[in-house]
Amino acid sequence: QKEVEQNSGPLSVPEGAIASLNCTYSDRGSQSFFWYRQYSGKSPELIMFIYSNGDKEDGRFTAQLNKASQYVSLLIRDSQPSDSATYLCAVKRYSNYQLIWGAGTKLIIKP
Amino acid sequence: AAGVIQSPRHLIKEKRETATLKCYPIPRHDTVYWYQQGPGQDPQFLISFYEKMQSDKGSIPDRFSAQQFSDYHSELNMSSLELGDSALYFCASSFTGTGPLEQYFGPGTRLTVT
């Protein structure tokens, strides 16, 4: 079992709908949580980070963190075809600088 | 805003050759990370440097070495290249302040070993 788990997808969502991406992690000592978007052949692009329980909103994106249940999610409202990409969840342990990566969820927004 | 710079963007080498990848972090960032990403895989952490000292070590082969210089740029040296080393190599940087240490990635170097 990987330390950070994501459903590999693909997750298909109609344009304009809400896309919900989920990530679970096993290390309770995890401190910070990151969502990256990666287009094929391009580098990961930081979308949001969260480190407190609850919701954090930035434009069409909302990150949700529940440390008791050890999951973090990303909601994308009003999904656009340009949101089609692989979304990587990354988790930072308290003990070092290293990010532990999930395998990513491929999101497809259908026009 | 300035981003992470990597060079070269593309590199073709033959087996058993050596390669050097360079990374220039975002100004004022003090930590550099190197990742390797194969097709369809998540980024694999290789090594990181904080203030020119190695801070973490991941799955970096013994054939690879890296360092961070006084101007904070970093170089990844890869020797005795193998076909399996063909991948995208990303450098990321972060600032060690009171924040969550979010990492910002460069555009990557695509290494092809033939």
* A97/B48 CB distance under 8 A: yes
Q: Tell me the residue ranges of DSSP E strands in B1-114.
A: 5-7, 10-13, 19-24, 31-37, 44-50, 53-57, 64-68, 74-78, 87-94, 104-105, 109-113
The shortest CB-CB distance from A97 to any of B56, B90, B104 is to: B56
Regions of chain B short of the pLDDT cut 70: 98-99
pLDDT in tens, A1-32: 789 999 989 999 999 999 999 999 998 888 89
The answer to whether residue B31 neighbours chain A at the CB level (below 8 Å) is: yes
Nearest CA in chain A to B87: A41
Q: Work out the minimum CA distance from B33 to partner chain A, whole angstroms.
A: 9
pLDDT in tens, A36-54: 999 999 999 999 999 999 9
Give the integer Cα–Cα distance in Å for B46 and B56: 8
